[in-house]
Amino acid sequence: MRRSIVKRFLILSCLIVPAIFSQAAFAANWVGGSGGDLWNVAANWSTGIVPTAVDTVYIYAPPYQGPIIDSTVSAVGKQIDGPGNSVGENLMQMTGGTLTLTNNWRVNTAYGQGPGKVKISGGTITTGGYLFVGYRGTGVLTMTDGVLNIGADIDTGRDRQSETVCGDGTLNLEGGTITVGTKMRVGNHGKAVLNMSGGSLTVSQYLRIGDVNTGIGVANISGGTLTVNASVGEGLRVGNSGTGTLNITGGTINVGGDAIIGNAAGSHGQVIMNNGVVNATTYLTVGNQGNGSFIMNGGTVNLVQYLQVGGVGTPQGTGYFELNGGTILLGRPDTVDLLINDNSTMNIAGGTMIIRGNAVSYVEALILGNRLVGYNGDGWINLEYVEQEAQTIVTGIPEPATIALLTLGGLVLLRKKSA
């Protein structure tokens, strides 16, 4: 009986031990130089084994040519650190196939190093965790096609060591589809740039450009569709606690939740819009507790609820909205949804503002209070309520002589120039 138990124990041990060792995690370091630098060539890895789903992958130069994933490759790993961590460019490319990570991907994790570059022109990437571009060093990710599914956040310009040494991230989206499972930050503690000229970028929760007080973020949108899906609460922040700039020259931006330019005390947010479309399902605040400005030279802004220029909290932010061209449509039919606080200004020197409902008397009060001005106070504001459309049309007029050209039913008020 005793011998039988011993035999059984030995047999079970022989079966279990190999299974345990087959799942052991390794640090797989890229060495490259074989088989066209393809990911799935074992000789390209320090372990002599192609990384498995439990391995952490390190792509550090040298060699400066990182792995290539093409249509023949189905790559897996727990986490990728790199490319980067070297003086000089370290490049990883994906033209097809798949890459699946159970955890994070950190592009360049070393201060003062880089750039670590990723170029994606096809295939599908899926992460269970974060994507960091410029975690501590300089990181650049350029996508022209393919699919990128991030399970948690995208964080660009993540960390900061000093005023001059920090994470520096650039994300270039020219085509393809990026889906972010939670949040996205452009310039977290460090500095970052988002350049979007095509494709689709969808963020499930909020997007912050210039997140914490040291963060500096710039987003340049010239094409494609950017969607922030927050159904309530925070949607878009340009200058959350740091410094943020949003330049819009094309494309479409859809914001669920609220949009705030210059959110927290000490923040600086700026939007410059020359073309394109912005749709917001709730409201837009310019200068909440920080300093915010919105310069609109063209394009279309559609707000389901209100436009607020200047904050109402403590401390009270300062806002400035300048309409030089394009159209802004705002408000709900039963509510006058234009708020301009006493330390802030809206200047109309072109373009058209359309307010749902009859807002003539309300807008008159803003003009007389020197909060709404035409042509920096040197011009006029024309108000017209169009009953058939149930809309109030607000435009600026550059000089008094233009009064003769107004259509019947227009109301003109002169805003006296402040001393």
pLDDT at 2 over 60: no
**Per-residue pLDDT reduced to its tens digit, 239-263:** 999 999 999 999 999 999 899 999 9
User: pTM of this prediction?
Assistant: 0.91
Average pLDDT of every residue of the chain:
89
What's the rounded Cα separation, in Å, for the pair 372 and 121?
A: 48
pLDDT at 6 over 70: no
pLDDT of residue 289: 96
**Phi/psi at 288 (5° precision):** -80, -80
pLDDT of residue 36: 94
The helix (run of H) or strand (run of E) holding residue 154 is: strand 154-156
Q: If you search the block for the tokens 């060093």, which residue do you land on?
A: 137
pLDDT band at 22; cut points 50, 70, 90? very low
Query: Which amino acid makes up residue 379?
Result: G
What's the rounded Cα separation, in Å, for the pair 234 and 305?
A: 15
359 to 368, 378, 386, 399: CA distances (angstroms): 14, 23, 11, 23
Sign of CA dihedral 41, 44, 48, 51: negative
**3-class state of residue 112 by DSSP:** coil
Sign of CA dihedral 104, 109, 115, 116: negative
Work out the average pLDDT over 62-86. Answer: 94
**Per-residue pLDDT reduced to its tens digit, 116-171:** 999 999 999 999 999 999 999 999 999 999 999 999 999 999 998 887 789 999 99
**Phi/psi at 300 (5° precision):** -135, 135
Higher pLDDT, residue 350 or 414: 350
For 150, residues 6+ apart whose C-beta sits below 8 A from its C-beta are: 127, 130, 131, 178, 179, 180, 181
Residue 233, Cβ neighbours under 10 Å: how many?
11
pLDDT of residue 23: 54
**CB–CB of 248/273 below 8 Å?**
yes
The helix (run of H) or strand (run of E) holding residue 360 is: helix 360-368
Beta-sheet pairing, 207-209 with 234-238: parallel
pLDDT of residue 111: 87
Give the rounded percent of residues in the chain with a pLDDT score beyond 90. 76
Nearest to 240, CA basis, from 280, 279, 184: 184
**Phi/psi at 400 (5° precision):** -60, -30
